[in-house]
Amino acid sequence: AQSVTQPDIHITVSEGASLELRCNYSYGATPYLFWYVQSPGQGLQLLLKYFSGDTLVQGIKGFEAEFKRSQSSFNLRKPSVHWSDAAEYFCAVGADHTDKLIFGTGTRLQVFP
């Protein structure tokens, strides 16, 4: 069965610093992979997704993610974090032959000025 692991529950960075949020998945074939962001009191918003092709995908708000099959990873990156990026970030994998998504437990990002 598919699963997603986000090993970091909470990350704190300074504004302007680079960011990498980790995501590992378990899936037999090439997965559909997603990153969503949730601001306080809001629903989830899609940042980016990977289905096939170029393993480096660009998303909204200056985020990017790289699919590494050998490491079963899909880490999210941003070169320079803004205070408005403080939120919770969820990695997700698409379940076999369905529209279902399996979400990780999330990483809460805190940004210090």
Partner 1 sequence: DARVTQTPRDKVTEMGQEVTMRCQPILGHNTVFWYRQTMMQGLELLAYFRNRAPLDDSGMPKDRFSAEMPDATLATLKIQPSEPRDSAVYFCASGSAETQYFGPGTRLLVL
Interface contacts to partner 1, rule CB under 8 A: 32, 36, 41-46, 49, 51, 90, 94, 98-101, 103-106
Name the burial class of residue 60, with classes exposed (0-12), middle (13-18) and buried (19+) by CB atoms within 10 angstroms of its CB: exposed
In this complex, which beta carbon is closest to partner 1, that of residue 70 or of residue 98? 98
User: Percentages helix, strand, coil for the chain, rounded to the nearest 5?
Assistant: 10, 50, 40
Q: How far is the CB of 44 from partner 1 (least distance, A)?
A: 4
Q: How far is the CB of 79 from partner 1 (least distance, A)?
A: 25
In this complex, which beta carbon is closest to partner 1, that of residue 40 or of residue 113? 40
Parallel, antiparallel, or unpaired: how do β-strands 10-14 and 19-21 relate? Answer: unpaired
